[in-house]
Amino acid sequence: MEQYVNVINRLIDCAERRCEALSRPARLIDLVTQLSIRSRALSVATVNVEIAAVRKIFSEVERTDGTCSWPTGVTVRSWMEAPGSDDFDAAMQSVRRPYRTIMEDGEEILSGEMETLRLNGHDLVEEELVELLTGKKGDTKARTDQKSQRFLNARDLTAIELELSLHDPIDSLNSLITGKARLEGTLRLFVNVMWFTGMRPVEVWNCALMVPRIDLAFTPEMVRMVSENPSMALHQELMMTVEQASRDTGDNLGVAARNAMTRSGAPSILMIKSAKTTNQKAELKSEYRLQVLKKIPTRQLNLIALATQCRKLRLTVERKDSIRASMTRILKQIAKQEPRFEGMNLNLYAFRHSFATRAKLAMEPHQAAALTGHTAKSTLHVYGERNLRSGTGGGRRLDQDWLPSPDPVYAEMIRQTWTARPAAAPALESS
């Protein structure tokens, strides 16, 4: 009996952590669905043992007046003590199904819950999502925590760029819809723009580049508005999409953007559709965040302009997720061949974390928060490399690395929210 108790206690822990990550309360049926999704990560023999254990423990439960008495040794949680009769019966009936049927449910359940976590903004790669949901420990090699490892500097980016330099991003994007995907070029595009802007992978698929309108003569006041209040500049229609500027001039995207900026004297604006709002304060939530591209180098501008075309590919969520997973595998293969990445957990999110590190070192915290989309101060504190000290450790070159500027109005809203003191409690009147 002891071995059965040990198994179900492990499953209880896994199910509770999984439901916490999914932001919903746990129920008895989650013990059964835990078995299903674990079949996607563990051997059939292991899951067979776990199913047998759950069946045995459930059969030993005594129910009296709606209260469950579990066998000795089972770590009982509150959601297990008094489930409704329907809940218990449903879980019992579900776990009594054939072993194969229980396992066949795993793929659909796991896929749906992984998508829920991504929509909630979890910055994890596929294998990490699987580990979180299934409770699988992973391989014996320790995984470097993304937020604790060193950030990726310009030399790291150059090393990856050299490995991918023979692959054209434009051809690669076209291949996503016209034939067999050649993902090295798409990966080359993603790692660069994520390092430049801090976008999440899902946000690269949903961003737009707005450039100064080429049919307007910009006054000094209009130029200041673009820099100092980009949201107002968009509202007053001072900006146009880079695609429209390209069509009107016949220039390619990057050239059209550069010419529009040169002619007007105003910067471009990168509009990023925020993929995550769970870490944003309620009064600061925004569907989009804006980055002002002042003094942007030509290469960065060209790549960002190209990346904004990803939103036109009309790919399904599942297809985008598959592409991200494949790009991660390519990136890890590159890391294995390059000594400078030894011991690192190199994935797409490493480039966003590196951006956050650079932003936190280069500007005020509220400005870095506006750029990254983390408006909760506690979240920003742990985002990016920790325990940083400026001027240490061999040539960080942060002063030479271009960064976009935050939306000044939004950054000021964050600063005021962070510094606002809670209202004092009213004094008690003396009797």
Q: What is the pLDDT at residue 82?
A: 79
Check: CB of residue 194 under 8 Å from CB of residue 201: yes
* Residues 12, 13, 19: CA angle, nearest 5 degrees: 85
Kindly give, in sequence order, each residue whose CB lies less than 8 Å from that of residue 342, ignoring residues fewer than 6 positions away. none
Q: What is the pLDDT at residue 204?
A: 95
Q: What is the pLDDT at residue 374?
A: 74
Sign of CA dihedral 301, 302, 305, 308: negative
Q: What is the pLDDT at residue 233?
A: 97
Low-confidence ranges of the chain (pLDDT < 50): 139-144, 277-279, 378-399, 425-426, 428-431
Strands of 345-415, DSSP E: 405-406
pLDDT tens digit sequence for 415-431: 998 887 655 544 544 43
Helix (H) or strand (E) holding 210: strand 207-212
CA distances from 343 to 145, 335, 352, 388 (A): 11, 9, 19, 19
Residue in 285, 277, 290 with CA at minimum distance from that of residue 229: 290
Q: What is the pLDDT at residue 399?
A: 43
**Residue holding tokens 């034939």?**
179
